């Protein structure tokens, strides 16, 4: 339980080039190609859409519209250390530092039109869906005004009920086809039902493999380090409707299954404890937050954030219901039950909550939800302050104390159980 003061210095091995047949290589290539493909499309004069992360990817993919995902771009910019610089550009234009840092970074990019840490193709249209948050609407409206381009809005309001009603499905279905028709009219594109079937097939294939891969954490020890998911999920955000994404996700699943069979894991140290991580990753401090856990043998085996981008369905109706059921669009009880299931399925011993200053919606109800999860699963819960992209909202020392406290409770619980 006590931590030795002098830790052996880590000897860094030179990195081996990645095997092109590995999931890591394939997923990394798809993620980086997503930006390059849109930049190339723009050069060729083809239209590009900026798309919110839980907008039905089936629409642009079926229509052959090139896409870029501002949330994904902002996360990349933040992880590469430019979050503060970009946020300050937006703040100088009058945006409050209380606004989502992804929004600030994106609005700053729309103004500067360059950021070496992660450039994207400039858009011709904006595809916005508020199933992830309502801040998205104002963010995209301002992008629309600043860039002088149309915004197509798919309204999926927060659902206070446990189930998705038929009325909500009808409401969203109407908007789905309206969005398709608007895009057809704007860019002379043509909807093709056969292509739609193909895209939904790809999307479901990617999703099934992804969700099955993340579910491999049911094994103890887990065949993977949960922080891997935070990198791999970029493909689920940006490319889940592409054939190659499904193939890469199946490779990932195969590797995790093989790891389990061989008793191996991408979590390179002994897995002493297993936790669930709650909230969007603290991208500016991904290394610090990861190390704080790994150094104590804590594996973050599951997070709803990763599973949120898996959309598996068998019909159009089920697809609409899936988009109405993403984590930020559902009520506290349903959100809690999904997380409790993850905790129980994956033998979680503790819960670490990122109180993410950017995401009021997500963090706002976590105090009560995490209390209920802790009670239902009989696990300790702690939270730390941070931000998904603004580095000014995190203190490593405070994070460290909370994680160590959580670790000490988990250790003590284990000792009590063994006794």
Residue ranges in contact with another protein by CB under 8 A = 1-6, 355, 367, 371, 374, 380-382, 385, 393, 395, 397-398, 400-402, 404-405, 408-409, 412-413, 416
**Closer residue to another protein, CB minimum distance, 63 or 381:** 381
Give the nearer residue to another protein in terms of CB position, either 167 or 397: 397
Q: How many CB atoms are located within 10 Å of the residue 372 CB?
A: 17
We find the least distance from the C-beta atom of residue 160 to another protein, in angstroms, to be: 24
Question: Least separation, in Å, of the C-beta of 393 and another protein?
Answer: 8
CA distance 172 to 321: 9
The minimum distance between CB 351 and another protein, in angstroms, equals 10
CB of 326 to another protein, least distance (A): 27
Q: What ranges make up the beta strands (E) of 213-317?
A: 273-278, 298-302
The contacts of residue 361 (CB under 8 Å, 6+ apart) are 133, 134, 135, 328
| DSSP of 124-178 | SEEEEETTS-SHHHHHHHHHHHHHT--EEEE----B-SSS--HHHHHHHHHHHHH
- The residue among 182 and 413 lying less far from another protein, judged by its C-beta, is 413
Residue 186 or 409: the one with the smaller Cβ distance to another protein is 409
Burial class (CB in 10 A: 0-12, 13-18, 19+), 64: middle
User: Is the CB of 230 or the CB of 348 nearer to another protein?
Assistant: 348
Residue showing tokens 């950021």 = 115
In the complex with another protein, which residue's Cβ is closer, 5 or 167?
A: 5
Q: Cβ neighbours of residue 335 under 8 Å, at least 6 residues apart?
A: 304, 327, 365, 369
Integer Cα distance of 397 and 389 in angstroms: 19
Closer to another protein by CB, 60 or 279: give it.
279
The token pair at 70 is: 């501002």
61 three-class SS: helix
CB of 280 to another protein, least distance (A): 17
Q: How far apart are CA 211 and CA 250, in angstroms?
A: 10
At its nearest, how many Å lie between another protein and the CB of residue 399? Answer: 10
101-112 vs 70-79: helix crossing angle, rounded to 10: 100
- Spatial distance between the Cα atoms of 417 and 419, rounded to a whole number of angstroms: 5
Shortest gap between Cβ of 291 and another protein (angstroms)? Answer: 13
Quote the least distance from Cβ 415 to another protein, whole Å. Answer: 9
Q: Which is nearer to another protein, 9 or 194 (CB)?
A: 9
To the nearest whole angstrom, how small is the minimum distance from the Cβ of residue 103 to another protein?
22
Determine if the peptide bond prior to 173 is cis (ω within 30°): no
Which of 56, 63, 19, 48 lies closest to 240, judged by CA?
56
Q: Measured from the CB atom, is 205 or 357 closer to another protein?
A: 357
């Amino acid at each position: 339980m006590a931590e030795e003061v002098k830790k052996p210095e880590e000897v860094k091995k030179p990195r081996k080039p990645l095997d092109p047949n590995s999931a890591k290589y394939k997923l990394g290539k798809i993620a980086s190609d997503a930006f390059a493909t849109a930049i190339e499309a723009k050069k060729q004069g083809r239209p590009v859409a900026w798309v919110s992360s839980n907008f039905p990817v089936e629409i642009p993919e079926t229509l052959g519209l090139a896409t870029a995902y501002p949330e994904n771009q902002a996360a990349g910019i933040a992880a590469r250390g430019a979050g503060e610089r970009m946020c300050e550009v937006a703040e100088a234009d009058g945006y409050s530092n209380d606004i989502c840092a992804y929004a600030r970074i994106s609005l700053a990019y729309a103004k500067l039109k360059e950021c070496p840490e992660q450039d994207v193709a400039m858009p011709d249209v904006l595809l916005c869906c508020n199933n992830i948050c309502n801040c998205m609407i104002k963010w995209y409206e301002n992008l629309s005004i600043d860039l002088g381009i149309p915004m197509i809005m798919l309204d999926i309001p927060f659902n206070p009920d446990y189930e998705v009603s038929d009325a909500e499905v009808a409401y969203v279905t109407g908007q789905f086809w309206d969005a398709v028709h608007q895009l057809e009219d704007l860019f002379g594109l043509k909807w093709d039902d056969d292509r739609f079937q193909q895209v939904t097939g790809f999307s479901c294939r990617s999703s099934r493999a992804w969700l099955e891969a993340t579910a491999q954490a049911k094994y103890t020890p887990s065949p993977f380090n949960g922080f891997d998911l935070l990198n791999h999920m970029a493909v689920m955000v940006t490319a889940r409707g592409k054939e190659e994404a499904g193939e890469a996700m199946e490779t990932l699943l195969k590797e995790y299954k093989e790891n389990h069979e061989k008793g191996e894991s991408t979590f390179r140290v002994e897995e002493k404890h297993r936790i669930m991580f709650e909230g969007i990753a603290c991208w500016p401090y991904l290394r610090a937050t990861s190390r704080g856990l790994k150094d104590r043998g804590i594996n973050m085996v599951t997070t709803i954030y990763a599973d949120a981008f898996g959309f598996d369905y068998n019909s159009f109706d089920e697809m609409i219901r899936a988009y109405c059921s993403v984590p930020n669009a559902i009520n506290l009880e349903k959100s809690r039950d999904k997380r409790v299931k993850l905790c129980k399925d994956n033998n979680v011993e503790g819960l670490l909550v990122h109180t993410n200053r950017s995401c009021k919606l997500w963090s706002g109800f976590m105090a009560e939800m995490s209390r209920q999860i802790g009670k239902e699963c009989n696990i300790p819960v702690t939270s730390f302050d941070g931000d998904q992209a603004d580095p000014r909202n995190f203190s490593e020392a405070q994070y460290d104390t909370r994680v160590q406290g959580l670790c000490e409770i988990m250790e003590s619980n284990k000792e009590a159980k063994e006794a």
